[in-house]
Amino acid sequence: MQLETLRPNLWRWTAPHPDWRPLADDGTPISWPRDVGCVLYVTPGHAVFVDPLADERDRAFWTWADERCRGRAVAVLETIHFHRRSRDAFVERYGASTDPPPPVDALRFALCDETMYWLPEHRALVPGDLLLAGEGGELALCPERWLGYLSAKPSAAEARAALAPLLELDVELVLTSHGGPVLEGAAAALRAALAPR
């Protein structure tokens, strides 16, 4: 597990996904990295986890998390149903809510079965599967075949159009689940990812 402090009271960590395999059933390479990103945002009154994943035996992590949750109401949020991860363990441990507390904004994209979270204090966007980050800090829409797993089965063009309201945000950080966090040039990277093709 790798833990990174991004801003005061904002952390991102990565953990190996237990369902990850290098190859799919048909022998093609899996198109997402083994380690997936998770976020913790703390305010004076709340500790907010987004898509958390943690090994229940990792004492150092849980000690770290307990310290940040102490004296605060805890919320555990998921961006998409594929990201259930360790949600239930966090909810049980902290008696957590699954609703976003203020000042966290839930941005729901029904066509894409995803809710992204906007953290205004840090101008940080936390997506689920729809936006992926490359090694150079660029963003991309997820592979079109991923969209086929969604109930509406949108095309890439339809998904980009649905996400267009994100361009109105003054984005400084994009904390993706797949790929590294985008810490510089996030607004330009988001515009490029959502530009019509």
What is the per-residue DSSP string for 112-158? GTEEEEEEGGGTEEE--SSEEE-TTS-EEEPPHHHHTTSSS---HHH
| Residue-level pLDDT at 15 | 86
In this prediction, residue 28 carries a pLDDT of 57
Helix (H) or strand (E) holding 78: none
CATH code at 166? 3.60.15.10
Q: Is the pLDDT of residue 31 over 90?
A: no
Nearest to 131 by CA among 193, 69, 39: 193
Under the banding of pLDDT at 50, 70 and 90, the label for residue 23 is: low
Calculate the alpha carbon distances from 58 to 1, 4, 51, 54, 95 in Å. 9, 17, 17, 7, 20
Instruction: Place 19 in a pLDDT band, splitting at 50, 70 and 90.
Output: low
Task: Report, in this order, helix, strand and coil percent for the chain, each rounded to 5.
Answer: 25, 30, 45
- Non-local (6+) Cβ contacts of 111 within 8 A are 150, 152, 154, 158, 159, 162
Phi, psi for residue 187 in degrees, rounded to 5: -65, -45
Band of residue 35 on the pLDDT scale cut at 50, 70, 90: confident
Structure-token pair, residue 175 = 């904390």
Helix (H) or strand (E) holding 159: helix 156-162
**Closest listed residue to residue 139, CA positions, set 107, 179, 83, 79:** 179
Percent of all residues in the chain with a pLDDT value above 70, rounded to a whole number: 91
| Angular region, 137: left φ>0, alpha ψ -120 to 50, beta rest | left
Residues 6 or more apart in contact with residue 156 via CB below 8 angstroms: 141, 144, 147, 197
pLDDT (0 to 100) of residue 139: 96
- Range(s) of the domain holding residue 190: 2-194
Distances (CA, A) of 31 to 24, 109, 178, 179: 9, 23, 10, 11
Total number of domains constituting the chain: 1
**21: confidence class by pLDDT, cuts 50, 70, 90:** low
